Structure 1
Amino acid sequence: MTLDRTNLHILALLERNARLSSAAIGREVGLSRPAVQERIAKLERDKVITGYRAEIASDADQSVRAVIFVHIAERPCGPALRWLADLRGVQSVVSLAGEYDAVVQVAVASTEELAQLNDTIGAHRLIARSKTQIVLQTL
């Protein structure tokens, strides 16, 4: 799908606030509410928009944050990246070129939960090895 300027504007607005109403987006981009709804539905059908997420404050129930650097055992990397993204506590998975194949950002309730997540990742056949770093501060 080719993304025109209006679709890109809609995507940028939704990235900033996925809860914006179609009417509010329409006012911003100069379209009617039904036209915005139609465009969003098409972006979803074409898998440009793949989901909506709530951003949870790091102190809400996830007081331990970490990044996990991952070497993936098999190519292509897609299946491993999708598996990682679906794990409980995973906030994002970024595919990398370089020393590691991916970096996984996680937020969990305790170091015990982080250890369990590390064990789950390390034991999976798609993962060659991983290295975890606990986040001390985010600015």
Structure 2
Amino acid sequence: MKHIKNNILLLAIVLLSSMTAMAQTTTVTDASSKPNSTKMKTYLIERDIPNAGKLTPEQLKAISQKSCSVLQNMGPKIQWLQSYVTGDKIFCVYKAENEDLIREHAKEGGFPANVITEINTTISPATAKE
């Protein structure tokens, strides 16, 4: 019985480790793995939109739908991760192969992209514990 319990525990640890590894693996292919692939970078886009914080849920939904529609037409070289709505700005986090794709998305969607900043690394409270 003890042998079976140990095997089940070992199996659970292996499965949990595999799931953790899969969760940490990015869906973007590394440039070294395929000759025609390009590594995607992470960008912070600052959009000046007066009274953005007062947009209704319906207006935000419409903006999101427009963005998703443009992204779908552009293909997998650009991805929207999330956005933060503040008083007069929306800050968006995107993954893209290059800054030109961010500008193309903004133009096609009719969104401003006042400042585009490449994110070099991310830190969080977990960084203090590593």
TM-score interval, normalised by the smaller of the two chains: 0.3 to 0.5
Higher Cα Rg, which structure: 2
Flag the structure with higher helix content: 2
Q: Which has the higher contact order (CA 8 A, sep 6+)?
A: 2
TM-score (normalised: structure 1): 0.43
